[in-house]
Chain A
Amino acid sequence: MADTHPIQVVNLRKHFPRKRGLGSVKAISDISFNVEQGEIVGFIGHNGAGKTTTIKCILGLLKPSEGRITLWGNSPAESKVRNKIGYVPENPDYDDSFSPMEYLSMFADMRGLSGMGSDWLKLLKRVGLSKWETTGIRQFSKGMRQRLSLALALQSNPELLIMDEPTGGLDPIARKEFREIIIEENKRGASIFLSSHILSDVETICDRAVILAGGKLMAEGSMAQLLGEENLYRITVLSRKTGEEIEETIPEADLQSRIDHLRRDNLQITRVEMALKSLEDVFIDATAGDSK
């Protein structure tokens, strides 16, 4: 049976040789994960965790030292696979003597797309560049270059959208627009692999997340699994010695017994509230001790 995973990464390792051939630096250590059809998968990790390296391996820009990467069961180097991908690079840049319309027309020709000028105008309008279609890219801000990058990635109606920090450096309104476009693309049927520092974005739109730290896979699962299906409660107790408030988070199942225990010890309970776990908490827990 043909492999239908848009992305399958198996035991990926990547190390870069040091200068003058003195050993090598491990960037990725034995990570494995999949992206299923129609999923939005968040790929999170601190700076230098190996996110961009992994993405470049997936795109064939870097050659894995060990392990296997397949896109729909094929090598990333296959042209039939590459035609189904849209890529938004981190800090994109383009030859600044061209305009967005020129870039879109040339990319369309290179990809063998049949779209016309009016299609590209619609696309530019969708990403918020409608008034800038013939302006030289040299006049563009970082955010505008990211919008152009998104337009180029969406141009071919890709089945897989790989995005490396697409909203970094964008203002809140632009970030919201980007999120909406990502959700629209997912509804159209595209699978999305989204690398981001902005955990709230990942938490809002992703079905699953893969957490990376120091080149190692620290956690992976659906949002429900990562955030915890069990409800947590936070109990605040007043210390008899110092008079300070002490917080304690415990699962719902243990809540009553813990309250009884505190009462038996004559401790004053000042507050009991539901503790909502965020992806940030999960990320900090998962990467604790391996932040750099």
Chain B
Amino acid sequence: MKFFLIAATFLSALVALIWVGIASAIPVVSVAELGAPEVVGTEVEVKDGQVQLIHSFAPLVFTVSSRNVKGQLVVVESPRSVPENFKPGIDVGLRGTFDRQKNRFVASVVTTKCPSKYEASKDAKEAGPYTGSQQAAAPGATQIR
């Protein structure tokens, strides 16, 4: 009986924590939704950001657009480090708040996707638009010796 009481208390505490966690969750929005009144001033996570232009590295200021819906551009400012492999065209994860006065998104977290070993795209399956200009091993055009 004691065990069941302890287990019940334990589980109740956990359920309460889960409830608090869910209640305090951060909404995930797209770049296109960033200017919306219900989003301004609220901490959000941006799901479809893609870097378009880098303005400065310290502080980190850059422009993102939506990966899926082209058009809207949003300026992002962050006090954080420049993430790995940060460049125009790369997908970024952002967390922060849209500041209406500055008209920019102030990001507390900026992450780039880690190119994992299990990534789906394979060079051989979709030969990409690689120019080969810096290819050290085999300069010049295709050679068949």
Query: A and B, one complex?
Result: no
Residues of B in contact with A (beta carbons under 8 Å apart): none
